[in-house]
Amino acid sequence: MEQAGYAFVDILIVLAKVIVVIGINLLMVMILTLGERRIAGFIQDRYGPNRVGPQGMLQPVADGVKFFFKEEVIPSKAEKVIYVLAPALVLGPALLTFAVIPFGGPLSVVGKEIQLQIAELNVGILYIFALLSLSVYGLVLGGWASNSKYPLMGGLRSAAQMVSYEISMGLAVIGIIMITGSLRLSDVVMHQNELLFGFLPHWNIFLQPLGFIIFIVAAYAETNRVPFDLPEAEPELVGGYHTEYSSMKFASFMMGEYIALITSSALMTTLYFGGWDFPYVDESSLGIWGVLLSIIAFAVKTGFFLFLYLWVRWTLPRFRYDQLMGLGWKVMIPLALFNIIITGVVMSLL
């Protein structure tokens, strides 16, 4: 009976973490939809949303109400089952990917240590790449099932783009795996909780600068963000793979994209910027304040990369498709392989 009680408590803890993580992700989607427009207005020297609520703060709520009550339109010749399923194939993996990312230091409650991570898998990095490879199915099937030429072209572009850049992203992470010796993201974070040369944070950005550049460029391509948003290029494809979608189905595609931004930003924080670690501070010695400090550190680092996503979108022009594919295959992959070789040579000499 006692073991059953412990198991029940463990289940409740996991459910609580799932609810908190999903809730924060959905809240961040609302904030990002507002932030996207406000930052765009600032960069372009114009007003952003400023009518619905104070300073336009309720604009995301208005958007949600509009999507919820908007008419559902399904093309008459669409493959209806796949057409309806496709948005879930984009939104689902985006939410599930965050499950293995540690977002704070260990929390001790009544003598029980709780990891601020939904699932601590021995193959956490492989789990993330497995789910990333699933999201492309939602885009391809959504474009194909619409039975329209522009969505089909967008779906095919997304397949070629995401597969190409996923290779270079995976090769970039191999350098970190070589240094850390583990696929667990918690081990990657703990490996960075030291000092390099006695004064520099032992973050992987200093050990793998080339790998980080490759990873962040590939992340922009994986999330279909400018300057890599060829699958939904408006001048060429109207709206790309989601042209024939409306109401909450379109909103699911949009939420999937924004949650993918949050996850990739959190992943960059975890892999290259020490995760939840606040440099020069031993969080474990501060008790609950150390846990709060670690959560704040993780949130600030992740928020910086989210801002960078929005900044780049309204700054850089879109690539041509041949430039996009040429960069992926002729530049990114050779550089990623070179990074692996250099990492191996340096490790063998040390």
Whose tokens are 């550089």? That residue is 335
Asked if residues 222 and 257 have their Cβ atoms less than 8 Å apart, the reply is no
Q: How far apart are CA 72 and CA 303, in angstroms?
A: 34
Token representation of residue 215? 């990873």
pLDDT (0 to 100) of residue 5: 59
Q: What is the structure's pLDDT at 6?
A: 63
pLDDT, tens digit, for every residue of 220-239? 988 888 888 877 766 666 66
Query: Model pTM?
Result: 0.92
Q: For the chain, what is the radius of gyration of the CA atoms?
A: 21
Spatial CA neighbour of 168 closest among 121, 226, 215: 215
The pLDDT, as a whole number, for residue 203 is 93
Domain ranges within the chain, ordered by starting residue: 2-349
Any idea what the Cα angle at residue 338 is, between residues 332 and 343, rounded to 5°? 125
CB 241 within 8 A of CB 154: yes
- Indicate the SS3 state at residue 156: helix
Which tens digit of pLDDT belongs to each residue from 202-216? 899 999 999 999 999
| Tens-binned pLDDT, residue by residue, of the chain (350 aa) | 556 656 777 788 889 899 999 999 999 999 999 988 898 888 888 888 888 888 888 888 888 888 888 888 888 888 888 888 888 888 888 889 999 999 998 887 777 788 888 888 888 899 998 888 888 888 888 888 888 888 888 888 888 888 889 999 999 999 999 999 899 999 999 999 888 877 889 899 999 999 999 999 999 988 888 888 877 766 666 667 778 888 888 888 888 889 999 999 999 999 999 999 998 888 888 888 889 999 999 999 999 999 999 999 888 888 888 888 999 899 999 999 999 999 999 998 87
In angstroms, the CA 255 to CA 97 distance is 14
Query: What single-letter DSSP state applies at residue 197?
Result: T
